[in-house]
């Protein structure tokens, strides 16, 4: 199922809609100006299953895999997920505040969920992403820019929460994304600016980030 093309409902056409209950209102008068990129795989290092969508929609069977016990009760979301084959799934309308960044700050502004759009890439920190994902991400960013004229920055979770998060990680090619979008390089975070941190489990997000 693809989302309808109503330009005012916050759901992008061409995306598959899987509504998440994990969202809330943005602060009054706040327009999204930042995109935060993440990576996720459930279970870690496994791709293509239904588990990410079930996690974000609060329908994950915690007993379906031993790893799921370590994230039991997690209530999180993102606005979008880009699968390994480039499919784009939307979970939260753009005007709503998805629960993806947790404790975070960018360019002097705390609580990045308030003013950001969260995009998950199906993948594992430190490993490459697919050409289909980069192409889909560039298209999605351009579509977001058309809808959100204040948009002016793209950063990784590792940049907005340095020392605590490290996704999308060293396997993400920022220079390639910049070339694909044609946007100014100054809009993008440097993947070298994130402080190193200890090992992070894929899908290790903050609980009840709303």
Question: What pLDDT score was predicted for residue 9?
Answer: 87
pLDDT per residue rounded down to tens, the chain (210 residues): 344 444 558 999 999 999 999 999 999 999 999 999 999 999 999 999 999 999 999 999 999 999 999 999 999 999 999 999 999 999 999 999 999 999 999 999 999 999 999 999 999 998 999 999 999 999 999 999 999 999 999 999 999 999 999 999 999 999 999 999 999 999 999 644 444 433 344 334 544 444
Tokens of 160: 């907005």
Is pTM beyond 0.85? Reply is yes
Active site residues: 120
Distances (CA, A) of 127 to 40, 45, 49, 72: 12, 10, 18, 26
């Amino acid at each position: 199922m693809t989302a309808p093309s109503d330009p005012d409902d916050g759901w992008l056409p061409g995306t598959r809609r899987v509504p998440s209950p994990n969202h809330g209102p943005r602060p009054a008068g706040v327009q999204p100006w930042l995109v935060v990129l993440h990576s996720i795989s459930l279970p870690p290092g496994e791709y293509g299953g239904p588990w990410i969508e079930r996690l974000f929609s609060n329908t994950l069977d915690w007993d379906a895999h031993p790893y799921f016990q370590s994230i039991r009760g997690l209530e999180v979301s993102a606005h979008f997920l880009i699968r390994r084959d480039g499919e784009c799934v939307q979970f939260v309308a753009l005007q709503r505040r998805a629960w993806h960044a947790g404790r975070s700050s960018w360019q002097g502004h705390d609580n990045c969920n308030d003013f950001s759009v969260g995009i998950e890439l199906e993948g594992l920190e430190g490993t490459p992403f697919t050409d289909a994902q980069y192409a889909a991400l560039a298209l999605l960013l351009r579509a977001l820019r058309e809808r959100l004229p204040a948009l002016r920055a793209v950063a990784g979770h590792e940049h907005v929460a340095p020392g605590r998060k490290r996704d999308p990680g060293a396997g993400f090619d920022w220079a390639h994304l910049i070339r694909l979008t044609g946007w100014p390089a100054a809009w993008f975070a440097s993947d070298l600016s994130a402080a190193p941190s200890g090992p992070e489990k894929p899908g290790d997000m903050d609980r009840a980030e709303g």
